[in-house]
Chain A
Amino acid sequence: MNRLWKEFSKGLWKDLPPFKLVLGLCPVLAVTNTADNGLGMGIAVVFVLTLSNLVVSLIRSIIPPKVRIVCFIAISASLVVAVELLMQAYAYPLYQQLGIFVPLIVVNCIILGRAEAFAFKNPPLLAIADGLGMGIGFTMSLTFLGGLRELLGKGQLFGADVTWQGFEPLGFMVEAPGAFVSLGVLLAIMNFAENVQRRRKGLKAVEGPTHDCGSCGGCSSASNC
């Protein structure tokens, strides 16, 4: 149980996919112009990630290592098609909003990364916990970024007006450059906060995001972590 919780919770803050692992940036940049879109995309990713982790973990003993990438892609592609059809059936407006980025979940590097780095080496229960944690972390990040951009760029949150009369929204934020700027600023704030924490603990400040990759033994920059 303890191990399960550890694998689940690491995706929520310590290895937060877009901000700590800096993975899966394509949807993070593309669909977060509103909080709604961020949430919808995140839920689709949670679904695909958890199930693909489960399936990969279940059949990990029969996949030949040489062709594993193809197998991962095939598994995630079938799951993404399922999500796509579900979305068309039950959330068609959201599907239209997200557009091409739903099929693109197949090549989202979080799916492949977690399958390769975690699910391929661990039993199903742990793989589910990892997928859920990572997916929920991803959803939270996307919703937060989408909410921030929607709030500043449109003065709304989940489609409801929340700002005062006379607020002039910063329309730049819902455009493409706003995605890059806000993601960059958020990463900078995360790194700044991390370094403040490290200094408080008496550790050396580092450049760039840190995460527990679990391969300190063979890593040349392990002393920086």
Chain B
Amino acid sequence: MELLIKNGFVYDPINGVNGEKMDIATRDGKIVENVNESKALKIDASGMMVMPGGVDIHCHIAGSEVNTGRLLRPEDHFRDFERKTPKTRSGVGYSVPSTFTTGYRYARMGYTTIMNPSMPPLEAKHTHEELNDTPMLDKATYPLLGDWWFVLEYLKDGKIEECARYVAWMMTTTKGYAIKIVNPGGLEAWGSGRNVSSIDDQVPYFGTTSREIIRGLCKVNKLLNLPHTIHVHTNNLGKPGNYLTALDTMKCVEDLASGDKPAIHITHCQFCAFKGSDWRTIKSGAEEIAKYVNNHSHVTLDTGQVIFTDTTTMTADGPFQYGLHELSGNKWVNHDVETETSSGIVPFRYRRKSYVHAIQWSTGLELALLVRDPWKIFMTTDHPNGGPFIYYPRIIAWFMSRKARETTLKKINPRAESRSLLPSTDRELSFYEIAIMTRAGQANALGLKDKGHLGTGADADIAVYNINPETTDPSKKYRTVRRAFENAAYTIKGGKIVAKNGEILRHVKGATMWLDVQVSEPIKITEEMKRRFREYWTVEYENYPVTENYLEVSHPTTIKADV
């Protein structure tokens, strides 16, 4: 099938195209030089913006904790539901939407690729079942490896290569895409009711430290040549004064970076950019973090922007979630995933009039505006922790318009308003920079070669937004911008039009991307390993791996490792 998108203003930052008027042609799901104009299906995009399909580096949309979140929050679905149509299935929203609704809502906004960032390896099958049921999107998931006993044991003994073999095995076994580290060491400590408070604290029993875990896995990542860097949720998340921990975490892998290639991704950075000694004196540490990131090339960030709404927080960070429950008094779930990780869920409402929440809102935006290079910072809400992903267009409006920020600033807690750095920032991002922060940069950081750009050979995942960059001034007409990004004029997935002006036209299945990491000496599944499984896990080894036929549309990438 051929498709021709004519006369759009194309934003393709990876290929350096900045709003030039050109045609984009696709054939059989790939972007090609040209097509036979008389045969191809034509889309008239004159006066519209054409961008690569959106890429989301971090959003919790599938897996056991998301599903537990759904069970925990009937009142969340009650207010927001979608009826079935001849093309789509019914579903519910809001902060933890059902899988099909997740797919449709992303597609309406012009997103085509998303990353599910926390999968306990034990729950890999559940996660992949839900990802199979998330339509319209290509997706991948990151297994949580920072507190896996095997990793801790090998890192304790300094056996990096051995550790790398096990990580490679785990990546292929669970069909994962990147190494996710959550509160390194803290989750293991939480198993015995403790936590770690800095990156140099000892993990009980294993005697290793967070620093060693982060550095160890960073080296492993490099040995295995994984496309993404390590994806780190720092220690002390959500505590006043934790920007120092975030800086320590970035600094500790400084020497492991090679050239300009990033070595670490700090995720939902807003939650670890708090200055101050307690909740009353909390301030934004965005300036310090931005200063560090501006001067170093080995770090990428995503914002984790807070939206003033009712949402559901869910992370693998059990101790943090317990603290949040203590703080808010809301209902909660907490769970220890055997030898691997922990998790927690607490419903939460971000209020404009709350000093802390308003500071958090401001911090997220400050980070995005103060980090000068858009290739280093990406737009997320850490869905659903900062707010549901349906609010991305609102964040784009805040990024692009000082006026939009000021309108919201007027409504927030006055003390937070007076401490916010936003009034002193004049920066307003351009559509080109937005295209980097929402798609190109994210695809680049994830090492997705065929996503996030519109060059020949790329996947034909395209978003067309009904806004004319020549006649619209986003800093004044921020509402127009927001509306345009809420419902893409066309969303094209794999060369097919799947959504048009907010209406889903076609239900398509997306692929699950995973890494087939090939090491020279793969680990042998010995009797000893099976014994460990019997001793440590509640499942037998035979039931553990996710086989390839488990994935409905499997899209492996073969990686040649250095071990």
Instruction: State yes or no: do A and B come from one complex.
Output: no
Residues of A bordering B, CB below 8 Å:
none
Residues of B bordering A, CB below 8 Å:
none
